[in-house]
A and B are shown apart, each in its own frame.
Chain A
Amino acid sequence: MSDETDAGGSDRWHDVRAMMDATPGVAFEHQIADWLRQSPRRMLFAMSYYKFAAKMVGAGRCVLDIGCGEGLGTWLMAVECGEAKGIDLDTDAVASAQRNWANDPRISFECGDAFELADRRWDAVIDFDGIEHIHPEQADSYLAKIAGLLAPEGVVVIGTPNITSRPHASKRADAGNVNLYSGERLETALKQLFDHVFVFSANDEVVHTGSWLMAHYFLALACGKKA
């Protein structure tokens, strides 16, 4: 490579850098930092499920993200759908989310209980990795409360690991999973609340319609809230 081309390349990179330097930095703490250090693939999988949810919800919609953690996925929803609010019980996670993302008018965060938000009805409610931590006898009412947050024409996306993936889960993950679902059970539970339920399978970052038995994870999409 001649010095001349090299210099040109360096100039161009400098221009690109100048554009990027204008954006505020992002700093991960807590769960996402842990993912990145211990199991970086987890972040890829989680973000792919958020992207799927964003595509199902569509543009020009207000989304509530229950259990938003540090809000990286909530940010994706805000960018793709137009408006998103993340809510989580973890004070530190919500503080991190606010530091990274909350300076944008499309997004907001709140620390607290999603079911105490009575101020509005959402076009979409998404809940990833929530329902498997709810005790089975409370699970149906948890789903009913999610449905209660929705506008009549709203959609819900629930993400949760397949019960058949349990033998492969880490001890740490498995300890909190007190309510794992099969595809059939998830479909049946949601059909009590919605006219239309689609349970998609996911393996790693791939969302598909293959056999529920071999799915690692489920992404359940529901609409047509029953009266």
Chain B
Amino acid sequence: MEKHMAVCPYCGAGCKMNLVVENGLVIEAEGLDGITNEGELCLKGLYGYDFINDTRILTPRIYHPMIRREKGAPLERVSWDEALDFTASRLRAIIEESGSEAVMLTGSSRGAGNEANYVMQKFTRACLGTNNIDNCARTCHAASVIGLMECVGSGAMSVSIPVLERTDCILLIGYNPAASHPIVARRIVKAKERGADLIVCDPRVIESARIADLYLPLENGSNLALVNALAYTIIDEDLADWDFIDNHTEGFDAWWEVVQEYAPEDVADVTGLAPELVRHAARRYAKAPSAVVGWGMGVTQHAQGVQTVRAIAALALITGHIGRPNSGLAPVRGQNNVQGSCDMGMWPSLYPGYQRVDDPAVRAKFAAAWGVPEERLSLQEGWKLTDLPHGVAEGKIRAFYNFGEDPLQTEPDTAQMRKTLEGLDLLISQDIFMTQTTALADVVLPATSWGEHDAVYTASDRSFQLTTAALLPKGECRHDWEIFADLSTRMGYPMHYENTREIWDEVRSLCPQFAGASYEKMAGLGYAQWPIYADAADDPDNHGTSELYAGGAFTTPDGKGHLQAAHWRPPTEEPDERYPLVLCTVREVGHYSCRSMTGNCKALAALADEPGYVSMSPADAEARGIEEEELVQVTSRRGKIVARAAIDERINGGAVYMTYQWWVGKCNELTLHAVDGESGTPEDKYSACQVEAIADQRGAEERLAEAYAELKARLAAEADRQNPPENAEPAADAADPNSVILSEGGAAAVVEGSRAATANNSSDPASSSPPPSAFAPHEAEVAGRALYADGEEETLV
């Protein structure tokens, strides 16, 4: 048994843990005393590790490169050389015909890490010659990044996660920490016990609302009206910090022109809140000696996301609750390395370290460092991820390089996204699993998973931490950065790195804000919080900057905080007679993002499985004759799905809530693809839908089971194309309905394949039994109890 230090691959809390490895399998995760988690882990941290072991619960891992020689052809396993040469020639052809702007790439904000993302954007900019690179922050906190960079200078959290425990007042808007970041919620519980005020604004009674001092159950889609009303009250009741406003901000008069129309009394119809409650909340926040505003997708995934972020920043600026100890702004990031993707310049307008692509001086610096002529690097801002659908429809984007994401699951309006991906001339998917998106790809590149490579992750509060490999790469999987460097070399821009440290040192040399974050500083439980400048590298006690903007020194060009206001407007698609309910997409604690990881973890998959729940108020359920746990039909103008009803008195009437990771109960079939005009963030929190009872429950259950099995089988069959039939155990392929599909894999890689297959199986204590076929129930399933005594037990006890 051995232990390897890692950083949790799920949310942005940045929890340190040990992975316990036995016989080549990760068998346990143990909390370590990291800066944010202090030895604790949530259930995803505790039980979210076994996807690495390729459990095949939801979808198999991919171990070998595959290509489709032409559109519509089946995936075919090929060598790395062939796969990368094929990719290079296809990309070259598209660039020759349509220019480099016809290629779009997206980085991975998950397990891959900062080094892989850095190399990908270098490939994009220096080799392909475009800024068409983005990351999934686009669909989550892009509004925060854009709004905060304008207002205060940096798009990241201004405070640290541990600060939440020390502050005197926590104001949460559209943020459910118990479900999204349990380890952050832990800090809020402790703050509350210490006597801090907790003010929660959310249409649902989330866990934090339950323990809040003040709970503001605002109407869905009324954020900006509420935040403006809070600001109005602070000025109206003379609770503002005028010295701070005078010395450290710009734009008060124009800001007040707008905000003065937002007396809580005047917007009570919009917010649905008693004016005195709003005033009371504003007083508590403004008068607190220190205060932090925390927000999440409830703010950003609206059409006015950026404007609401600016309004929240204004709250902190007019009260001086920023730039002072234990006070600030906390847009808490959803994915373990989404802050890192932004840090690494996976952003169409920014180089690594938040340096603008349209700044010729910055371009000159990167051109010199990367050894390319300046004209090679584009000064033009690239496409956003949410530009993909119309970019493809208009023929402007022809190739899409998808790195570790599953847009078919996570982006709004699945039908539109499917059309988009199918409309591409070239879809490259570099992933660890056969996801729905990977199954459509023309090129499938298998990468190493979290736990199989070293990397630096950036936690939500700007803390760089080191995660290390616990296992060797499986099959033919290569590190992400090796794949990009190899592809770049084949396309005429040679890149070569020995290891991640070499890449990271290049990042530090180009980004002054990150320069002090050496691997030495991050060793073990160490961390480095940016900005951390070069002089910090040799000072072991210097961990960087815990709180930004000390003394009101903002990092905007003029050093001031900028007050900007906007008028509230109604959401894009309002409920009507046909679709009378608001559909809001939310998170549940046991599953993560597209679920390719958590869905392949035994304990987490057992906790919650298809089709997922639609949570609704008792009144709305009763009016529709819906009973708890029944399957129901949810429809919108975009689509129709089946989900299970959860009747919950914490849910406000007139709205329903669904999580977005389910395949059968896929709420993104229903969501509207309207975006915030400034950030491109989709309005996932608000679309109109209807929920209806299903009379034939038994039939619905059967259809559900069939649909789920079919989806799994389809992906498994796609993944099986990487395994030539020669590899299958004789006992299995005799009765295997997939043998026809399998034989299409070709005999090209027999030797290579058997070696890899042996390597995979040698560590598996159950390798003597035949591998399960795609459709037949596993023998353990038939044997019932016997399964507890199989290989699983031998490994674990």
Q: Judge: A and B partners, yes or no.
A: no
